[in-house]
Amino acid sequence: MTSPIRFLMCSPHHYDVDYVINPWMEGNVHRSSKQRAQEQWQNLYQIIASRAAVDLVKPQPGWPDMVFTANAGLILGDQVVLSRFLHPERQGEEPFFKQWFEAQGNTVYTLPADLPFEGAGDALLDREGRWLWAGYGFRTELDSHALVAQWLNVEVLSLHLMDERFYHLDTCFCPLTGGYLLYYPPAFDAYSNRLIELRVPAEKRIPIDEPDAINFACNAVNIDRTVIMNQASDDLKGRLAAVGFEVVETPLTEFLKAGGAAKCLTLRVTEPVHPEPTGESGILARTVTMTGHLLDAGLVNRALDLIVEGGGSFQVLKFDLGEQRQSTSTAEIRVSAPGQEVMDEIMAQLIDLGAVVLPEEQQDARLVTITQAGVAPDDFYSSTIYPTEVRVQGQWIRVQAQRMDGVIVVDQGPQGPRAICKLLRDLQVGDQVIVGYDGIRSVRSTTSRDRSQQEEFSFMGSGVSSERRVELIVEQVAWELRRLRDRGGKVAVVAGPVVIHTGGGEHLSRLIRQGYVQALLGGNAIAVHDIEQALLGTSLGVDMKQGTSVRGGHRHHLRAINTIRRCGSIANAVEQGVLTRGVLYECVKNNVPFSLAGSIRDDGPLPDTKMDLIQAQADYARLIEGCDMILMLSTMLHAIGVGNMTPSGVKMVCVDINPAVVTKLADRGSLESTGVVTDVGLFLSLLVKQLDKLTQKHVMA
Ligand SMILES: NC(=O)c1ccc[n+]([C@@H]2O[C@H](COP(=O)([O-])OP(=O)(O)OC[C@H]3O[C@@H](n4cnc5c(N)ncnc54)[C@H](O)[C@@H]3O)[C@@H](O)[C@H]2O)c1
């Protein structure tokens, strides 16, 4: 055969599934038939050899996967980047492939020992040679792409692999003659799919479905208008035929047991060199440092996970482990990302974790002027619950009114630049808002092992309690409530109607009466049911003493609403002697401010319920300002609303019968939040008892 196209293959003489390094190998160790493998390989060889030239590399005993020559390296012209295998099981193939490449007169580049790159298994040239598609995520490290781009002088487009069944790019992606692309989109993350769509026009993309993907239809050898593969559905064959490709099927089932098929068994050694090479990779890198209790607080793991999950890659440049229990550790991490968008997303999350950009890479925060009221630029920085500083005119300044999901606005105050969190809707034309992640750092306590804090909040480690721990937690909440009351602290309670249905109303009333609560937040329902109980002895028509339904009781809550409406407000009802007990009564009597935020479910509503939600949110924010502790009692809606507007540092206790609600609220990554999965009525009764005990002890002492 005199075709200018050449392939490298390796006889399966020593081939077997000897180990498990991908999901296809699982359950297949030593289960492949030597004879069938030989026959299948021979058939593939014949098909290719009738269309192109085939070179052979000598198989070596002990290296069964050498048959998959696609992973020998990546060749372009006479330049080769030799593979650096991730798994030791394949690393022994490297010198044999190197020898072969050198014997052909190629220049061979080798990557650093700890930078895996698995050759043409993870790097596929566009068939016109315009760029190189390179995969990462399982076997190949993103940072290797930059070196490949430089050595081979080719533009590299990095694609993030997401499905471990498609662990190499060539298992789910196959560029074809004429700019066509056969691929399995779910194998890639959203960013990579966008990149593919940007580079390959819709009419040239041939996405395949899972059944074809798991038959390795993308692991195909393309020679001009022929596509050679293990198997394809009639539909796929039809779609390929429609754009001028002939599919040649040749069973390769014995190799599928090791996670490879036609493409894996070949390496194309004559790749088209583009006349105008670029040598770009588009890969960006930033270096961040993290300081604190990195290992025991799990911060480093989280940081590294989020980099990889976000489509980036990392190198830990330095890690100084604190030697003493109290000492902190420092890590210096180099973050790589395939593009600006991915880098921005990763950096924003790292900053939330307390990562700081190296001083030499620090810049002022980027400011953009608002041109439409209430609308921010797309890349605005969205604030978190953590204290944050921003760099303006070379100075780091603390952001005021810190809250989650806000926008940071910078202006000139009398004493210099100021930064403040604003809600999107409050943005004014002319406001300067921060975009991107430059010049932003979140301030995390590096002394979370501080002794006093540890004693006070030994129970408060972020997490969800089991029923068995409830009593212990109640003791500690009681102790904290007592301490806060004694020192004039501020506690807010966010409560739902379940508090009343479960008989917790009398306990909450008592907490208010005894000065443990400084603000009450809720919706229409807590007030309606509390007032229904106070006026009529029922909650949702159920007699609270007997626990039985009262005839006509289902209308009681409407009667309660009607009564308050007649009075004009809850406070008026108290003043007029209509409302004489209950949670809201205690609030009015003890000057504890309350705010009732409306919802679509509300009956009535009560005249006090704020149906203007913007006003209600502002009211909530005002009431929780300066809070030391917030008790969230069985209201998912209002508790989550409050959680979102509370800065870190405020202790939050969330009580709910549903573990999912508790987890959502407790999992703010903050040391100060805890969840209690239990009945709220029971919780309140235990809490009141515990406070009584503390009072008795105090009196006796
Ligand atoms: N008649 C009315 O006007 C009326 C009636 C009901 C609700 N609403 C309104 O609807 C909105 C949502 O109401 P919501 O906050 O009650 O509902 P929600 O679903 O947001 O929260 C109720 C929470 O209580 C938990 N829960 C249930 N039983 C519990 C128990 N025994 N112990 C502990 N937790 C328990 C649930 O798991 C849930 O998370 C509010 O604004 C409310 O005012 C109005």
CATH number of this structure's domain 451-700: 3.40.50.10690
CATH number of this structure's domain 6-268: 3.75.10.10
Active site residue 168: yes
Question: Using CA atoms, how far apart are residues 516 and 691, in angstroms rounded to an integer?
Answer: 10
Higher pLDDT, 457 or 448: 448
Q: If you average pLDDT over residues 659-669, what whole number do you get?
A: 76
pLDDT, position 40: 97
213-254 pLDDT, tens digit each: 999 999 999 999 999 999 999 999 999 999 999 999 999 999
pLDDT, position 513: 97
For ligand 1, say whether the CB of 22 is within 6 Å of any of its atoms. Answer: no
347-377 pLDDT, tens digit each: 988 988 889 888 888 899 999 999 999 999 9
For ligand 1, say whether the CB of 610 is within 6 Å of any of its atoms. Answer: no
Query: Residues spanned by CATH 2.40.420.10 within the chain?
Result: 370-442
Query: How many CA within 13 A on the CB side of residue 557?
Result: 20
Bond from prior residue into 417 cis (ω within 30 degrees of 0): no
Which range, of 186-190, 274-278, 559-563, 651-655, averages the lowest pLDDT?
274-278
Q: Is 416 helix (H, G, I), strand (E, B) or coil?
A: strand
For residue 526, the CA-to-ligand 1 centroid distance in Å is 8
Confidence of residue 109 (pLDDT cuts 50, 70, 90): very high
For ligand 1, say whether the CB of 675 is within 6 Å of any of its atoms. Answer: no
Q: Is 348 helix (H, G, I), strand (E, B) or coil?
A: helix
**Ligand 1 atom nearest residue 602's Cα:** 3
Q: If you average pLDDT over residues 491-508, what whole number do you get?
A: 97
Q: If you average pLDDT over residues 598-620, what whole number do you get?
A: 95
pLDDT, position 454: 34
Q: Whose CA is nearest to atom 7 of ligand 1?
A: 525
Contacts of 580 (CB under 8 A, 6+ apart): 534, 574
Question: Using CA atoms, how far apart are residues 135 and 118, in angstroms rounded to an integer?
Answer: 9
- Please list the residues that pair with 195 across neighbouring strands: none
Among 69, 140, 124, which Cα is nearest to 101's? 69
Which H or E run includes 125? Answer: strand 123-125
Q: If you average pLDDT over residues 459-464, what whole number do you get?
A: 42
Evaluate if residue 458 carries a pLDDT over 50. Answer: no
For ligand 1, say whether the CB of 554 is within 6 Å of any of its atoms. Answer: no
Among 161, 502, 157, 171, which Cα is nearest to 308's? 161
Evaluate if residue 318 carries a pLDDT over 50. Answer: yes
Evaluate if residue 118 carries a pLDDT over 80. Answer: yes
387-428 pLDDT, tens digit each: 899 999 999 999 999 888 899 999 998 989 999 999 999 999
pLDDT, position 618: 94
Cβ proximity of 346 and 335 under 8 Å: yes
Please tell me what DSSP assigns to residue 372. B
Which segments within 393-499 are labelled E, that is strand? 395-400, 407-413, 416-422, 432-435, 440-442, 491-495
Active site residue 264: yes
Bond from prior residue into 605 cis (ω within 30 degrees of 0): yes
The per-residue pLDDT of the chain, averaged, comes to 90
For ligand 1, say whether the CB of 60 is within 6 Å of any of its atoms. Answer: no
For ligand 1, say whether the CB of 680 is within 6 Å of any of its atoms. Answer: yes
Cβ proximity of 645 and 623 under 8 Å: no
Cβ proximity of 406 and 382 under 8 Å: yes
Query: Residues spanned by CATH 3.30.70.2690 within the chain?
Result: 283-361
Confidence of residue 159 (pLDDT cuts 50, 70, 90): very high
Q: Which of 145, 160, 168, 557 is catalytic?
A: 168
Evaluate if residue 698 carries a pLDDT over 80. Answer: no
Q: If you average pLDDT over residues 377-383, what whole number do you get?
A: 90
CATH number of this structure's domain 370-442: 2.40.420.10
Q: If you average pLDDT over residues 271-283, what whole number do you get?
A: 77
pLDDT, position 701: 67
Confidence of residue 196 (pLDDT cuts 50, 70, 90): very high
**Ligand 1 atom nearest residue 501's Cα:** 31
For residue 635, the CA-to-ligand 1 centroid distance in Å is 5
pLDDT, position 328: 77
292-310 pLDDT, tens digit each: 877 766 788 888 888 888 8
Higher pLDDT, 178 or 114: 178
Confidence of residue 581 (pLDDT cuts 50, 70, 90): very high
Q: Whose CA is nearest to atom 3 of ligand 1?
A: 602
> Which CATH superfamily does the domain covering 283-361 fall into?
LOR/SDH bifunctional enzyme, conserved domain (3.30.70.2690)
Evaluate if residue 23 carries a pLDDT over 80. Answer: yes
Question: Using CA atoms, how far apart are residues 315 and 114, in angstroms rounded to an integer?
Answer: 10
Cβ proximity of 155 and 76 under 8 Å: no
Could you tell me what percent of the chain has a pLDDT over 70?
94
Query: Residues spanned by CATH 3.75.10.10 within the chain?
Result: 6-268
Query: Residues spanned by CATH 3.40.50.10690 within the chain?
Result: 451-700
pLDDT, position 545: 78
Query: How many CA within 13 A on the CB side of residue 81?
Result: 29
Higher pLDDT, 610 or 311: 610
Higher pLDDT, 272 or 137: 137
Question: Using CA atoms, how far apart are residues 620 and 172, in angstroms rounded to an integer?
Answer: 51
Q: Which of 174, 264, 421, 627 is catalytic?
A: 264
Contacts of 6 (CB under 8 A, 6+ apart): 52, 53, 54, 55, 268, 269, 270
Confidence of residue 466 (pLDDT cuts 50, 70, 90): low
